[in-house]
Amino acid sequence: MPRLIAISNRVQTETEGETANRGGLAVALAAGLRASNGIWFGWSGEQTEEFTGQITFRRANGVATATIDLEAQDIEEYYNGFANRTLWPLFHYRLDLTEIARDFAGGYARVNHRFAETVGPLIEPDDLVWVHDYHLLPLGQQLRERGFRNRIGFFLHIPWPPPSLLISLPDHRELVESLLDYDVVGFQSEEWRQAFMDYVTAHLDADIDGEIVSFGNRRTRMLVCPIGLDTADFCSAAHSMAAKQSQTQLMVSAVGRDMIVGVDRLDYSKGLQERFIAYQQFLTNHPELCEKVSLLQIAPPSRGDVPSYQQIRAELNALSGSINGEFATIDWVPIRYVNHGYSREKLFGIYRAARVGLVTPLRDGMNLVAKEYVAAQDPADPGVLVLSRFAGAAAQLEGAVIVNPHSSEDMADGIARALAMPLAERQERHKAMFDCIVKQDVHWWSKTFMEALEKAGPKPAARLLP
Ligand code: F6P
């Protein structure tokens, strides 16, 4: 088995005791890294005065990690800048929030170069290299230019935008060409792969044969491979005391009311304002249900140094306050809005206590919360998932009530339909979704991608820097 070198912006280390709800990536990579004695490389999340390229090695639960610190200008221009003020909004179809700045592009190129320089000496000739996400799109090219002929794959965790949006990026062509230095590029859904192929067709002199794009002497396989949960492990959280306590606590606090739950990172792509407005619409349309339902929205803040995130936080505070002011009674609060995260066990109990899971992003690569909500349900009496048609997960979770997050009327109807759904229909929908998340779990995802990468070849000729 070849050794795996995984590279991502952040490296998530395991915590002891009650498990923090680790991202899918940590779970997905752990098994392959342990089995192959591999290394997970990335930014420590820490700032240093001056970049030195010094690597900190750690090992936790059998997973070896290697991290570097970045200097303030790197963090500002690469992470807060190009990654989260340019690429993130653009790739989530928010051209209105996309900031184009040469400093950001320069910082992004510099940090990708720094990643290549520091991870390079760790890579041995037979290693499989797997790069993750929009922070590191050109890293494969950077490695090829240093002579690495390994099999190198890339997985995009977020959407790929249509060509009409992508061309607003000044160096869009260079960025796309850099992706063709990978052997395999993975997308969460067919929609994102098709958008990529549309760009290649319109803007590059490349050949497309099924999944394969040939560009010069390079051949890249474009794979659709939706990320999943560690479903078995997530479901085992059901038996923990913390899960049972949190379910009971919520059921007691709901006092006979139906609970609707939303769990999202505080991000404009998640459609939280639209969701609150749709819930307000639902309460207006169904006065008979006021005091009989309650929305619990969990939204831990993220990327707080980016202005659009500060703004959405302030807007949501105001909106939840105004809806509560309008509808609350002395013993009922329509929205409970919480700005911190919970452990996996507590979340399991929260999902299980909720009659409806509301997952309504305006655009999302996948959305694992949708899958977690389904995994947590009691199959004998399951809750209903209300899911945006613009989440990658909608292509797999056909048993959800699919809604348009841009229409508050449609979402309000979806909530009402979910709350009124008969048991037999809930069971049938849940079974179809549960079967899917068991079959296409996170282990299936990493195995499918790694097998595609292992099969890749022949390796491109080295294109050394002059
Ligand atoms: O979904 C994309 C992603 O960048 C993940 O890789 C990451 O875990 C999550 O968003 C949180 O982002 P950040 O690292 O910027 O807090």
Does 211 map to a domain? yes
Using pLDDT thresholds of 50, 70 and 90, give the confidence band for residue 238.
confident
CA distance 164 to 78: 24
Instruction: Tokens for 140, please give them.
Output: 């494969």
Tens digit of pLDDT for each residue in 273-292? 999 999 999 999 999 999 99
Question: How many independent structural domains does the chain possess?
Answer: 2
Does 460 map to a domain? no
Does 47 map to a domain? yes
Same-domain check for residues 43 and 180: yes
CA distance 170 to 172: 6
Is it the case that residue 393 has pLDDT exceeding 90? yes
Phi, psi of 282, rounded to the nearest 5 degrees: -60, -45
Expressed in angstroms and rounded, the spacing between residue 21 Cα and the centre of ligand 1 is 13
Q: Which one, of 385, 367, 453, lies nearest residue 126 by Cα? A: 453
Mean pLDDT of the chain: 93
Pick the catalytic residue from 267, 364, 430, 443: 364
pLDDT at 22: 57
CA distance 466 to 409: 59
Same-domain check for residues 11 and 150: yes
Same-domain check for residues 215 and 246: no
Does 371 map to a domain? yes
Does 354 map to a domain? yes
pLDDT at 463: 61
Same-domain check for residues 55 and 114: yes
Rounded to an integer, the average pLDDT of 55-60 is 94
What percent of the residues of the chain are helix, what percent strand, and what percent coil, each to the nearest 5? 50, 20, 30
Q: What atom of ligand 1 comes closest to residue 23's alpha carbon?
A: 8
pLDDT at 16: 41
Rounded to an integer, the average pLDDT of 263-280 is 97
Rounded to an integer, the average pLDDT of 249-275 is 92
Rounded to an integer, the average pLDDT of 36-56 is 95
Phi, psi of 397, rounded to the nearest 5 degrees: -95, 70
Cβ–Cβ contacts within 10 Å for residue 265, how many? 16
Kindly state if the Cβ of 106 falls inside 6 Å of ligand 1: no
Expressed in angstroms and rounded, the spacing between residue 26 Cα and the centre of ligand 1 is 12
ipTM score: 0.95
Does 243 map to a domain? yes
Contacts for 193 with CB less than 8 Å, ≥ 6 apart: 160, 187, 222, 223, 224
Phi, psi of 15, rounded to the nearest 5 degrees: -110, 155
CB 338 within 8 Å of CB 119? no
| Burial per residue of 178-202, b for 16 or more beta-carbon CB atoms within 10 angstroms, e otherwise | bbbbbbbbbbbbebbbebbbebbee
Q: What atom of ligand 1 comes closest to residue 84's alpha carbon?
A: 15
pLDDT at 458: 56
Tens digit of pLDDT for each residue in 413-465? 999 999 999 999 999 999 999 999 999 999 999 999 999 999 996 565 556 66
Cα dist from 78 to 87, 93, 440, whole Å? 10, 20, 33
Total-model pTM: 0.95
Cα dist from 451 to 193, 227, 366, whole Å? 19, 15, 21
Q: What atom of ligand 1 comes closest to residue 135's alpha carbon?
A: 4
Same-domain check for residues 338 and 190: no
Kindly state if the Cβ of 23 falls inside 6 Å of ligand 1: yes
CA distance 194 to 186: 12
Region label for 388, one of left (φ > 0), alpha (ψ between -120 and 50) or beta (otherwise): beta
Please give the distance of CA 41 from its chain centroid, rounded to a whole number. 19
Using pLDDT thresholds of 50, 70 and 90, give the confidence band for residue 241.
confident
Same-domain check for residues 42 and 174: yes
Q: Which domain holds residue 81?
A: 4-228+444-455
Pick the catalytic residue from 157, 264, 430, 443: 157
Rounded to an integer, the average pLDDT of 234-262 is 85
CATH number at residue 335: 3.40.50.2000
Does 412 map to a domain? yes
Is it the case that residue 327 has pLDDT exceeding 70? yes
Same-domain check for residues 266 and 377: yes
Same-domain check for residues 140 and 241: no
Does 71 map to a domain? yes
Expressed in angstroms and rounded, the spacing between residue 27 Cα and the centre of ligand 1 is 14
Nearest-CA residue for atom 14 of ligand 1: 10
Nearest-CA residue for atom 9 of ligand 1: 23
Indicate if 157 belongs to the active site. Answer: yes
Using pLDDT thresholds of 50, 70 and 90, give the confidence band for residue 158.
very high
Same-domain check for residues 202 and 255: no
Phi, psi of 346, rounded to the nearest 5 degrees: -65, -40
pLDDT at 17: 43
Same-domain check for residues 250 and 173: no
Residue 254 belongs to what H/E stretch? helix 241-254
Indicate if 364 belongs to the active site. Answer: yes
Same-domain check for residues 150 and 246: no
Expressed in angstroms and rounded, the spacing between residue 309 Cα and the centre of ligand 1 is 14
Same-domain check for residues 223 and 268: no
CA distance 297 to 238: 21
Is it the case that residue 76 has pLDDT exceeding 50? yes
